[in-house]
Structure 1
Amino acid sequence: MSLLETQGLGISFGGLKAVQDVSFKVEPGEIVSVIGPNGAGKTTLFNMISGVYQPGAGRVVLDGQDVTGMEPFRLAARGMSRTFQNLQIFQNMTVLENAASGFHLRERGPVLADLLNLPGARRRARAAEAGARALLARVGLERAADRQAGNLSYGSLKRLEIARALALQPKVLLLDEPAAGCNAVETEEIDRLIAEVAASGTAILLVEHDMKMVMRISNHIVVLDHGEKIAEGAPLEVSRNPAVIAAYLGTEEATHADG
């Protein structure tokens, strides 16, 4: 059974169809990338899947359950986590505190216990710190744990955001342009991290403009243009699709992708 499935998903804004009739599946351990030119509807699609927008048509199915339009915090509890195109990092907190915040979202205790620093609250705090340190090691940021997050490089901040999303122990991880603004070395680091997360069994849905990265790490690609799905398939198949070449890749980029 697919971990994530969209069935005829669509939404309109002021009579304009931003996304219409988009269906695809993401299996456990699979990396599925959504690509398309600017304005194709990629982030709008992400927002419907992750509960930011209420779809006007279709369904979102998570691990066999209809979760269409469910609030993001409820989706997180059911196993969906995401990052955003614009960083959502607490710049004035330490790297460790940022990573630990994901655990606090997952394992909330009684407010009074936290205010009074009762034993249960202290246990949760210790567990969150231990889990956060393990995640920082996983993304290669363990040595930066006590640094202020705002002092990290952009690529490191991207990895930190992924670490915080992983604190929710997602079955499905949505990544919105994880390599945007990164240099070649940082992009390679994120490549490896995404591949490792998928290898652990997490289903990954990715929006990314770096076509070399997309073609390198994706198992399956969905192509949008003007809100409609115009193609899907394996990277090589998609890169050779005439409709994709015309809408997005361009002949020269498609040739590079084949290599």
Structure 2
Amino acid sequence: MSILTAAGISIRFGGLTALQDVGFALNPGDVLSIIGPNGAGKTTLFNIVSGLYTPSSGSIHLDGKDITNNSPERLARLGMSRTFQNLQIFFRMTALENVMTGRHRWEKTGVWGDLFAMPGTWRQNAESRRVSLALLERVGLSGQADTLAGNMSYGALKRLEIARALATEPRVLLLDEPAAGCNAVETAEIDELIQQVARSGVAVVLVEHDMRLVMKISSHILVLAQGRTLAEGRPEFIRSHPEVIAAYLGAEAAGAGRA
């Protein structure tokens, strides 16, 4: 059974139709990449799925439950987490503290518990610290737990943001251009991390322009053009699709996907 489905998604901004009748289905452990030229509607679709935009029509279901128009906070509690194209990091906090902020979904005590140092708060904070340290190790940043985020490399910050998203223990992880701005080594680290997350059973949806990364890690690809679905299918199908090549990939990029 699909864990995440979108059907008939359309949205208009004034007189402009940004998306029209777009849909997809995602199973646990799948990696779905959404690609297309600039202005194709990729980020708009992402923002609808993650609760930032309200679609004009269509529906989204998470594990069979209609989540259309749910807030991002509600979606986090239901098991969906996302990152953003531009880093959303607390630069004056340590790497560990950044990841611990992602544990809010699981924290039951509030400000009074912290103020009066109640035993339940101690246990909660200790558990959040334990889980966050394990996530830093998972993304290859265990040695930088106490490093201020502002002193970390760009590639490390990309992985840190993924660690924080994983701290909510999502069933669906949305990644908005996770390799944007990364060099070849950093991209390879992101590549391995995404595959590792998918192997754990988490469904992954990403918007990405790095075609080598997309072709390597995707189980399914959705291609958008001018707000509509141009093609969808497995990487080998998309790589050789003539309309995709003409509209987006180009012959050279299609050949690179075979490398």
Q: TM-score, normalised by structure 2?
A: 0.98
Deviates more, 1:105-114 or 1:150-159: 105-114
Q: Distance in 2 between matches of 1:108 and 1:158?
A: 28
Q: 1:223 matched to which residue of 2? A: 223
Q: Distance in 2 between matches of 1:183 and 1:117?
A: 44
Given that 2:104 and 2:168 are in contact with CA atoms closer than 8 Å, whether structure 1 keeps it comes out as: no
Q: Which letter does structure 1 place at the counterpart of 2:131?
A: G
Q: Distance in 2 between matches of 1:22 and 1:4?
A: 14
Q: Distance in 2 between matches of 1:125 and 1:224?
A: 43
Q: 2:66 matched to which residue of 1? A: 66
Q: Distance in 2 between matches of 1:258 and 1:138?
A: 29
Q: Which letter does structure 1 place at the counterpart of 2:257?
A: A
Please list the CA deviations of residues 161-194 of structure 1 after superposition, one character each: whole Å capped at 9, or x if unmatched: 0000001100000000000000000000000000
Q: 2:111 matched to which residue of 1? A: 111
Query: Residues 104-183 of structure 1: matches in 2 within 5 Å?
Result: 104-183=104-183
Please list the CA deviations of residues 49-90 of structure 1 after superposition, one character each: whole Å capped at 9, or x if unmatched: 000001111001001100001000100000000000011110
Q: CA deviation at 1:108?
A: 3.8
Length, aligned pairs only: 259
Q: Distance in 2 between matches of 1:160 and 1:105?
A: 18
Q: CA deviation at 1:127?
A: 0.7
Q: Distance in 2 between matches of 1:102 and 1:233?
A: 33
Q: Which letter does structure 1 place at the counterpart of 2:166?
A: L
Is 2:80 the partner of 1:80?
yes
Q: CA deviation at 1:225?
A: 0.4
Q: 1:203 matched to which residue of 2? A: 203
Query: Residues 238-253 of structure 1: matches in 2 within 5 Å?
Result: 238-253=238-253
Given that 2:34 and 2:206 are in contact with CA atoms closer than 8 Å, whether structure 1 keeps it comes out as: yes
Is 2:89 the partner of 1:89?
yes
Q: 2:18 matched to which residue of 1? A: 18
5+ residue gaps, structure 2, are: none
Given that 2:77 and 2:105 are in contact with CA atoms closer than 8 Å, whether structure 1 keeps it comes out as: no
Q: 1:234 matched to which residue of 2? A: 234
| Percent of paired sites with the same residue | 59
Q: Which letter does structure 2 place at the counterpart of 1:23?
A: G
5+ residue gaps, structure 1, are: none
Q: Which letter does structure 2 place at the counterpart of 1:71?
A: S
